Chain A
């Protein structure tokens, strides 16, 4: 059973370009979380999605950032018109269809490192 898959692992963009980060949750998982990690800091919650629904986007910047989790395919975190401050590691985590309450555990991908030049 493959784990949470994120791609690309590394992405370099110039200021003003768009960045798209993908996350395929573990098989059987329908809850996806996106986190951002700045250097030497912990994880900051961005958005929580279930299939075709955004449940909580309270951690997402109001502009330029969007996320989706379609019925088919991976979850996408999209950053438009990137700026240097967007440089960070973006982690995706998933939990089973019942949510993490059964085990309380989230399963993390290896992260996508975005560098904005």
Chain B
């Protein structure tokens, strides 16, 4: 079965601190994509960062970076110099090609609160 586990339902840090959100997944596939999506109070889903499983180098987008450990099936998100606007739900997901179509498997989300 394909699953994604986000073990932290909620986290809270002070503005400007660094925070790491954990994500583990389970799949027997070898090729897949991994994503972190952000859902602010407006409820729109916004892509934060993407990682191809065949790439060893960790993806980075400005203040956002990932620690991708393929053998451990771990894909954590690090937010540096956190800002108030980072307050949102964060969802980890991976996409595989199976049964002739693409399947996107989602975690339950982590609620991140940035305090002033």
Contacts and interface: CB of A to CB of B under 8 A. Distances in A.
Interface of A: 33, 40-45, 48, 55-56, 89, 91, 93, 95, 99-101, 103-106, 108-111, 113
24 contacts: A42-B107, A43-B45, A43-B104, A43-B106, A45-B103, A45-B104, A48-B101, A56-B101, A89-B43, A93-B45, A95-B102, A100-B33, A100-B95, A100-B102, A103-B50, A104-B52, A105-B33, A105-B35, A105-B50, A106-B104, A108-B44, A108-B46, A111-B45, A113-B43
A42 B91 contact: yes
Nearest to B43: A111
Nearest to A110: B44
Contact-residue bracket for chain B: 20 to 34
A42 to B, nearest CB: 4
A48 B108 contact: no
Given A44-B106, A111-B43, 9 more contacts: A41-B108, A42-B107, A42-B108, A42-B109, A43-B45, A100-B102, A104-B50, A105-B35, A110-B44
Contacts of A56: 99, 101, 103
A108 B45 contact: yes
Contacts of B16: none
B100 interface: yes
B47 interface: yes
B56 interface: no
A108 B45 CA distance: 6
| Interface residues of B, dominant DSSP | strand
Q: In this complex, which of B35, B42, B50, B101 has the most chain A Cβ atoms within 10 angstroms of its Cβ?
A: B101
Contact of B44 (A33, A40, A101, A111): A111
Nearest to B106: A42
Contacts of B47: 105
B109 A41 contact: yes
B99 A43 contact: no
Interface string B14-44: 0000000000000000000101010000111
Contacts of A41: 108-109
Nearest to B52: A104
